[in-house]
Structure 1
């Protein structure tokens, strides 16, 4: 198998398993069905069942165990590798699927928080990945 397609199968398997554990799984399920199903009705029914069984195993006890995630990812990577070997023309669509899943996950993991802190002497603030800018307010007559 072409190494690029094998890499894409691995990335798509990981993205698919990641998508199964999100709130937008129904949207991603529809998209992966369009890509893999290629319009074959009989194939769609079996694929729907396999996707739902996988998603069910992963969401039965949140958060899923790492071993379960890895097993599902390996399973879908193998299935997608076979699919890509037969349908290399679908690689652009599968790459777009991977990009969308990753973008949707990035959107839910990050956020912008503004925190205003007034501190007197000996104040201490700690955290991770902070960008701190200070705006000094003029002191009143009492030095506060």
Structure 2
């Protein structure tokens, strides 16, 4: 499988699970189910039910602070999307379009931020994924 499709599946799996706990949940569910409806209509209803169950699991995991369960859900949906793309690579553009509609530029939807810093001696590092206010003198 093409590395770009694998990365797309990884991004989609993470986005789907992250958006399960947001106001964009219904649009997310509908968009993902629409992919299955076009590629495998007999499985679409089952996928919708599995998405609903995964959302319940995610909300429970967040309430209890179970980060491992949340990561397992991301991995599970990454695998599902990867298998779908493996069967039907022609839907990759449709998936990209759905993801772009769910998280347009300027939206406050959660995004991954990876930062790395190193300080030596008396050096300090200040990092922020959004606003940062430093008041020390």
Give the TM-score normalised by the residue count of structure 1.
Answer: 0.67
Indicate the larger mover: 18-27 or 58-67.
58-67
Relative to structure 1, is the Cα distance of residues 68 and 33 closer, same or farther in structure 2, using a 3 angstrom cutoff? same
Relative to structure 1, is the Cα distance of residues 61 and 85 closer, same or farther in structure 2, using a 3 angstrom cutoff? closer
| 1:89 match | 90
Q: CA deviation at 1:66?
A: 1.9
Structure 2's unaligned 5+ residue stretches are 111-130
Q: What is the rounded CA distance, in whole Å, between the counterparts of 2:80 and 2:40 in structure 1? A: 17
**C-alpha RMSD over aligned residues:** 2.3
Misfit runs of 4+, over 4 Å: none
Give the TM-score normalised by the residue count of structure 2.
Answer: 0.70
Relative to structure 1, is the Cα distance of residues 61 and 11 closer, same or farther in structure 2, using a 3 angstrom cutoff? closer
Alignment of 1:29-68 (within 5 A): 29-38=29-38, 40-60=40-60, 62-63=62-63, 65-68=66-69
Q: CA deviation at 1:23?
A: 1.9
Q: Does the 8 A contact of 1:12 with 1:97 survive in 2?
A: no
Which one has the largest radius of gyration? 1
Q: CA deviation at 1:92?
A: 0.8
